[in-house]
């Protein structure tokens, strides 16, 4: 059974209007560039991969919606606002025209960890994933994506060494999965492209 692209947390979704286009402009631009370069996309079996988010306030962030990887370009209708989460209870609430990405709980854990994290990019890149496992901060291979265990694993890595300076995490239990983050989308993308 394919375990990719499946929401594993309890998503409480309130359908609502899109966020303003100007609020999402950088998010959409970077997401579409990452799609063009193949870092976000869709596998031949139809399962989408990759997502991107941007902190909106201390307790909210905008994130690409679930199963939008196939889209070459996105509009505000392809993003939602995550406005509450509880990692221990494996729940997340979002409001917008689409449900949040399956990795949103992991994004939430990173935003919880540090107010300095303002943007997160999650891509799939086999070469980068294979080359840097164990060399860069790497999650345990037994930890599945999109779960409280992955959220706690992110926190564990951030508390060890200095991954906040490297701003990249390899997800060993999430085939091809790589996360970068920073004080802006530009910074998170620069970290990614430094390793590609």
- Listed by start position, the domains of the chain span 10-195
User: Residue 41, Cα to own-chain centre: how many angstroms?
Assistant: 13
- Per-residue pLDDT band for 12 (boundaries 50, 70, 90) equals very high
Q: Report the residue count for the chain.
A: 196
- Per-residue pLDDT band for 164 (boundaries 50, 70, 90) equals low
Global pTM?
Answer: 0.95
pLDDT for 145: 84
Residue 179 pLDDT more than 80?
yes
Interior angle at CA 170, CA 82 and CA 106, nearest 5: 15
pLDDT for 14: 98
> Alpha helices of 12-65 — where are they, by DSSP H?
21-36
Q: Judging by beta carbons within 10 Å of its beta carbon (0-12, 13-18, 19+), is residue 46 exposed, middle or buried?
A: exposed
Encode burial over 145-163: b for 16+ CB neighbours within 10 A, e otherwise: bbbbbbbebbeebbeeeeb
Q: CATH number of the domain at 10-195, please?
A: 3.40.225.10
pLDDT, averaged across the chain? 93
Mean pLDDT of 167-192: 96
């Amino acid at each position: 059974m394919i375990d990719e692209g499946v929401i594993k947390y309890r998503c409480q979704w309130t359908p609502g209007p899109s966020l303003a286009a100007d609020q999402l402009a950088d998010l959409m631009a970077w997401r579409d560039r990452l799609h063009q370069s193949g870092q976000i996309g869709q596998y031949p079996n139809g399962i989408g991969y990759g997502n991107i988010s941007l902190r909106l306030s201390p307790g909210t962030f905008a994130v690409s919606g679930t199963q939008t990887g196939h889209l070459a370009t996105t509009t505000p209708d392809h993003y939602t606002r995550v406005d509450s989460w509880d990692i221990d209870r494996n729940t997340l609430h979002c409001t917008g025209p689409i449900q949040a990405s399956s990795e949103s709980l992991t994004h939430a854990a990173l935003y919880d960890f540090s107010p300095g994290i303002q943007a997160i990019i999650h891509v799939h890149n086999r070469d980068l994933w294979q080359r840097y496992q164990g060399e860069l901060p790497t999650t345990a291979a037994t930890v599945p994506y999109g779960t409280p265990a992955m959220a706690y694993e992110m926190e564990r890595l951030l508390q060890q060494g200095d991954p906040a300076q490297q701003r990249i995490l390899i997800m060993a239990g999430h085939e091809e999965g790589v996360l970068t983050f920073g004080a802006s989308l530009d910074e998170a993308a620069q970290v990614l492209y430094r390793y590609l």
